[in-house]
Amino acid sequence: MNQNRFANTGQLSRLIFRLDRTRVSLWIVGITLLTLIVPPAFESLYKTQQDRDTVTETMANPAITAMVGTGDLKNYTIGAMTAHQMLIITAVIVGLMAILLVTRHTRADEEDGLIEMIRSLPSGRLSYLNASFIVASGTFIVLALFIGFGLYVLGIESMDLEGSLLYGAALGGTGFIFVGVTAIFAQLSESSRGTIGWSVAVLLLAYLSRAITDISNEQLSWLSPLGWVSKAEVYSSNNWGPILLMLAFAILLFIIAIYLNSIRDLEQGFIASKPGKSNASRLLQSPIGLAFRLQRTGFIAWAIGLFILGASYGSIFGDLESFFKGNEMYQQLLQQEEGASLVEQFIPTLMVVISLIATIPPLLAMNKLRSEEKKGRLEHLLGRAVSRTKLIGSYLILAIVNSFVMISLTAIGLWAAGTAVVEHGLEFSMVYSSALVFYPAILVMIGITAVLNGFSPRLTHLIWFYLMYSFIVLYLGNLIQFPNWLGKLSPFGHVPHVPIEEATFMPLFLLSAIGVGLMIISFIGFRKRDIKN
């Protein structure tokens, strides 16, 4: 390749880092803290090796293996327990982080015309892509070091320096791989939506294939990049081979992405978009119809995914007794109630997780308004016979309907799979009502997102940190024993624990009223502020 193709890569790397330094810092701090709070919690719960050995019977359950991967159950120290129960889940989060960061500075910047402007300056054809690689790779190296040394500094006996660095390296290697995967799809797809969609599909496929092969044939787990994370055997035999495999595979992906970028026309993709219809449908000629068309593929994908998620959780209901027996940590996740079945005690905690995940698609639907504004498309709509009230109202309606569909499909999937494995089946009204009580809390989250869009669109990303905060204090709070008032700072912390508690009217009414009130306020802000790109 001509050396000029890489001209000023270093300067572009500094530019990208400057643009992303806050976002990258928050990602690194968040994932590091999430990792470091778990081992001390395990140490306080399982003070002796005998306590830890009682957990291994539960961990050998195929459902658990599918969720968190394989582990060293014969020598289940605090280190081995942390790696077994946290490493795969954290690797998925790191993969998602890589996808979002790389898409932002490849296909998204290309859609916004930024790369075209940069190429008009004295920079190489491949400089911007390589600068994105440098920043992303540096991010995951820093993340690996922070986590590695952070775990070692905890001073837990079974968490030595080599194992801790290997833990961080496994996460960093996962980040490298999905940097490469995303960069390739940025060349194949014609849009940032397609890049994220295809890359997330690969991430989910890697997770599902690992889950299936970990149960059926462990040797086939080598076919999944996430399977390599478990094969590192962190805090056990400390196998560095999978890390070298990750690096080699990531380099191969980088080379493929660079080659594809070198032969591709700007703003084009190798996967051609289907030609549209000659005439727009009647629905497409309205603001809400256009907004739905832009989100249709994502809506369908999330609906299918959440139904499958609910079904996967429901499939473990038939083995709950062995899941919780003798496991003090997991018993803290139950909503204890005399006379209630194990399923009824477990459903409230499970629904917290389900509702938080089901909140993601409606927030994405609401924030699509900001995405369209950044690309300068709202000006074309508002320049015609479309009012601002009707425009933001269209996105609000879609988000509200989206949230209802998502929480409903997840509950239906949970009920269908649970009924198939539980001896006397599950009552549909019990499962559905325990999910639907979270709907007002989701409306509050949509309302907050709408207010951010209405008054301060540059801050719309803050809703994701609030959602992550809700997950940490409500799901991990029982394990780490956070004060109750921290949970009350989230709307999900005010939802009754159905079916253990009665679904009282007042908290659900107040949450709904707050959500609707925030939505009304968002109209005021959106009507008065300037539209910017």
**Residue in 174, 175, 176, 202 with CA at minimum distance from that of residue 188:** 202
Please state, in angstroms and rounded to a whole number, the distance separating the CA atoms of residues 81 and 235.
Answer: 9
pLDDT digits (tens, 9 = 90+) for 121-175: 788 888 888 999 999 999 999 999 999 999 999 988 889 999 999 999 999 999 9
Residues 198 and 287 placed together within one structural domain of the fold = no
pTM here? 0.76
Mean pLDDT for 435-449 is: 95
**Domain presence at residue 404:** yes
d(CA 423, CA 321): 13
Dist CA 431 CA 451 (whole Å):
32
- The answer to whether residues 262 and 286 belong to one domain is no
Distance between CA atoms of residues 221 and 228, nearest Å: 7
What backbone phi and psi angles, to 5 degrees, belong to 336? -60, 130
Residue 370 has pLDDT above 80, yes or no: yes
Tell me the C-alpha distance between 217 and 331, whole Å: 30
Q: Are residues 182 and 312 in the same domain?
A: no
Question: 157: buried, middle or exposed (CB in 10 Å: 19+, 13-18, 0-12)?
Answer: exposed
85 and 153 assigned to the same domain: yes
How is 437-481 classified by DSSP, letter by letter?
A: TTHHHHHHHHHHHHHHHHH-GGGTTHHHHHHHHHHIIIIIHHHHT
Residues 488 and 481: their CA atoms lie apart, in Å, by 14
What are all long-range contacts of 328-337, with beta carbons under 8 Å and residues at least 24 apart?
328/45, 328/46, 328/51, 329/42, 329/45, 329/46, 329/55, 329/479, 330/58, 332/478, 332/479, 333/478, 333/479, 335/497, 335/500, 335/501, 337/500
Supply angle C-alpha 471, 333, 80, rounded to 5. Answer: 85
Q: Do residues 158 and 87 share a domain?
A: yes
Give a yes or no: residue 274 inside a domain.
Answer: no
Amino acid 293: pLDDT: 83
Residue 190 in this model has a pLDDT that exceeds 80: yes
Q: How far apart are CA 257 and CA 270, in angstroms?
A: 12
Judge whether 1 lies within some domain.
Answer: no
In the structure, what pLDDT confidence band is assigned to residue 1 with cuts at 50, 70 and 90?
very low
Domain around 385: 281-533
Residue 163 and residue 292 in one domain: no
